[in-house]
């Protein structure tokens, strides 16, 4: 799926733009929190990351093969650095504080940013 034509808000079970997705108090500095809307194969998954007072939200899909960023065998996220997450499938790395920019690996495109605010 090309980012050029991707609109996350049109996906099944996606929250409405501007909808509250979690309480700020449920986030921990430097930790990724996954939030799931819907069930089973139609679930829409996002990740939220709090860093230095800024909350970053992304669609939990790697642009390489459109898989969730976690490995299939567990639900943990692999942090590459304090601000970068590594895809558990083919090891592309994304900067969660810089619009999801791909900093290493085969993905070449950023993960899909939904919001960020401070
Ligand atoms: S699915 Fe993420 S790098 Fe391939």
CB-based contact 85:78 (threshold 8 Å): yes
Chain segment 61-105, per-residue pLDDT in tens: 999 999 999 987 678 999 999 999 999 999 999 999 999 999 999
Q: 77: which 2 tokens?
A: 């996220």
For residue 1, the model assigns a pLDDT of 46
The owner of tokens 């996002």 is: 46
Contact in structure between 28 and 50 (CB atoms under 8 Å):
yes
Give the whole-angstrom CA distance, residue 96 versus residue 100: 5
For residue 115, report the distance from its CA to the centre of ligand 1, in Å. 22
Quick check: 6 pLDDT over 90? no
Q: What's the whole-model pTM score? A: 0.92
Read off the pLDDT band of 5 (50, 70, 90). Answer: low
As for how many domains the chain has, the answer is 1
Domain that holds residue 59: 3-117
CATH of the domain at 9: 2.102.10.10
| CB 104 less than 6 A from any atom of ligand 1 | no
Chain centroid to CA 72: how far? 16
* CB atoms near residue 75 (< 10 Å): 10
Question: Does ligand 1 have an atom closer than 6 angstroms to the CB of 65?
Answer: yes
Residues 6+ apart with CB under 8 A from 78: 71, 85, 86, 87, 88
Q: Is the CB of 64 under 6 A from ligand 1?
A: yes
């Amino acid at each position: 799926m090309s980012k050029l034509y991707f609109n996350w808000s049109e996906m099944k079970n996606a929250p409405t733009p501007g909808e509250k997705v979690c309480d700020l108090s449920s986030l921990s500095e430097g930790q990724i929190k996954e939030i799931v809307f819907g069930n089973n194969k139609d679930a829409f998954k996002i990740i939220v990351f709090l860093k230095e007072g800024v909350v970053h939200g992304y669609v939990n899909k790697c642009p390489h093969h459109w898989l969730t960023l976690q490995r299939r065998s567990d639900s943990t996220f692999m942090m590459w650095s304090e601000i970068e997450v590594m895809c558990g499938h083919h090891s592309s790395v994304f900067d969660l504080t810089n619009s999801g920019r791909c900093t290493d690996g085969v993905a070449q495109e950023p993960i899909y940013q939904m919001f960020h605010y401070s």
